[in-house]
């Protein structure tokens, strides 16, 4: 049994992938063995170096993902302030907007139809 | 003197705890082509996590105490502390100043003292080599 799956253009063999995985793990193990052994886990030696400052919690020292949009929010602040006002989160308001928009569209279509 | 147990370059982290910069300038002089300490495998590094020796200058002002302790704790073992300059050893010209918490050996254990105001580059290199020999013995003790 060769375990070879042929597609007509290429082939896929799990045994080759297992061998590749083992070789990669051996390389990783080799480099890991050559690493610094002096470190003591669960001490300050494993902490981040911030010029001697106290290391804050992960939530405090990472930039939140929302911060990448800061420039957009700041530039379009006026626009967002207007747009956010109708977004109340109440379903009745959204239905009212839907009905109003549908009614306005229907009126526009009706008027446009009269001309033909 | 044979250095066999410690099989790599000696990496030194320089920590200024409130120095007037006189000693720091002499440490820089050690790295210039005239003295060129790097040819002996002595190298300044930017993080105590890579260092074998903490080279401390300055008399340790109060704000630096927690930082000095933290940096000492963050240095991997085996490590040595070397004090360069009179200020770190006994306060120097800042002796008994209200803002001092030092000298350094009252805050972290010190292995090598290099006195002077500031010490000459030759004295600093001699101090580093002394630290290297101590580190060699530490490594041998750990291996035994």
pTM of the model as a whole: 0.67
Domain boundaries, chain B: 10-143
Best mutation target, A42, A49, A56, to test chain B (most B CBs within 10 A)? A49
For residue A58, the model assigns a pLDDT of: 79
CB-nearest partner of A52 from B71, B76, B78: B71
Q: How is residue A93 written in tokens?
A: 């308001």
pLDDT in the model for residue B6? 62
Give per-residue pLDDT as tens, B124-134: 988 888 888 88
Chain A contact set for B73 (CB, 8 A): 43-45
Of A4-8, A102-106, B2-6, least confident by mean pLDDT is B2-6
pLDDT confidence band for A38 (50 / 70 / 90): low
Would strands A11-12 and A5-6 be described as parallel, antiparallel, or unpaired?
antiparallel
**Residues in contact with A40: Cβ distance below 8 Å, sequence separation at least 6, in sequence order:** A46, B76, B77
* CATH code for the part of the protein at B10-143: 3.40.50.12280
The interface pTM score, or ipTM, of the predicted complex is 0.73
pLDDT score recorded for residue B83:
94
The pLDDT confidence band at residue B5, using thresholds 50, 70 and 90, is low
pLDDT of residue B95: 86
| Residues in contact with A4: Cβ distance below 8 Å, sequence separation at least 6, in sequence order | A11, A12, A13
A57-71, B25-39, B66-80, B94-108, range with the lowest pLDDT: A57-71
B9 pLDDT tier (thresholds 50, 70, 90): confident
Going from the C-alpha of B109 to that of each of A115, B81, B90, the distances in angstroms are: 95, 7, 14
Asked if pLDDT for residue A11 goes beyond 90, the answer is no
The whole-angstrom separation of Cα B113 and Cα A97 is 79
- From chain B, the residues in CB contact with A41 under 8 A are none
For the segment A20-25, the average pLDDT, to the nearest whole number, is 97
Is the peptide bond preceding residue B118 cis, with omega within 30 degrees of 0?
A: yes
CA distance B44 to chain A (A): 15
**Residue A1: band (very low, low, confident or very high) from pLDDT cuts 50, 70, 90:** low
**Per-residue confidence band for A34, with pLDDT thresholds at 50, 70 and 90:** confident
**Residue B4 pLDDT level (bands cut at 50, 70, 90):** low
- Between chain A and chain B, how many beta carbons pairs sit less than 8 Å apart? 35
Residues in chain B closer than 8 A to A43 (CB atoms): 73
pLDDT in tens, B25-65: 999 999 999 988 888 888 889 888 888 899 999 899 999 99
Please check the confidence at residue B3 and state whether its pLDDT lies above 70. Answer: no
The pLDDT of residue A44 is 82
> In whole angstroms, what is the distance from residue A91 CA to residue B97 CA?
69
Q: A interface mutation test: which of B5, B16, B67, B76 has the most A CBs within 10 A? A: B76
**Min distance B34 CA to chain A CA atoms (Å):** 30
Q: Is the pLDDT of residue A104 over 60?
A: yes
Percentage of chain B modeled with pLDDT above 90: 36
How many C-beta atoms lie closer than 10 Å to residue B95's C-beta?
Answer: 13
- Give the DSSP H or E segment for B73: helix B65-74
Residue of A nearest to B17 (CA): A52
CA distance A31 to chain B (A): 17
In this prediction, residue B71 has a pLDDT band, given cuts at 50, 70 and 90, of very high
Contacts of A54 in chain B (CB under 8 A): 66, 70
- What's the pLDDT at A20? 96
CA distance B14 to chain A (A): 11
């Amino acid at each position: 049994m060769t375990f070879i799956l042929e597609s007509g253009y290429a082939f896929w063999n799990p045994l080759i992938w297992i061998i590749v995985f083992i070789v990669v793990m051996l390389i990783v193990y080799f480099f890991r063995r050559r690493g610094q052994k002096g470190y003591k886990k669960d001490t300050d030696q494993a902490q981040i170096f911030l010029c001697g400052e106290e290391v804050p919690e992960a939530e405090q020292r990472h930039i939140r993902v929302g911060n990448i949009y800061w420039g957009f929010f700041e530039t379009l602040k006026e626009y967002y302030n207007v747009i956010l006002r109708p977004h109340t989160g109440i379903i009745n308001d959204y239905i009212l907007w839907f009905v109003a928009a549908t009614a306005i569209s229907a009126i526009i279509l009706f008027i446009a139809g009269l001309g033909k | 003197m044979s250095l066999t147990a410690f099989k790599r370059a000696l990496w030194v982290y320089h920590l200024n705890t409130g120095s007037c910069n006189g000693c720091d300038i002499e440490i820089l002089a050690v790295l210039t082509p005239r003295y060129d300490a790097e040819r002996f495998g002595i190298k300044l590094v930017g993080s105590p996590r890579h260092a074998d020796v903490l080279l401390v200058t300055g008399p340790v002002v109060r704000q630096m105490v927690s930082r000095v302790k933290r940096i000492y704790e963050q240095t991997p073992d085996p490590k040595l502390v070397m004090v360069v300059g009179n200020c770190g050893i006994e306060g120097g010209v800042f002796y008994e100043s209200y803002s001092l918490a030092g000298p350094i050996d009252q805050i972290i254990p010190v292995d090598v003292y290099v006195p002077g105001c500031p010490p000459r580059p030759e004295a600093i290199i001699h101090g580093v080599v002394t630290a290297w020999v101590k580190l060699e013995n530490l490594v041998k003790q750990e291996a035994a």
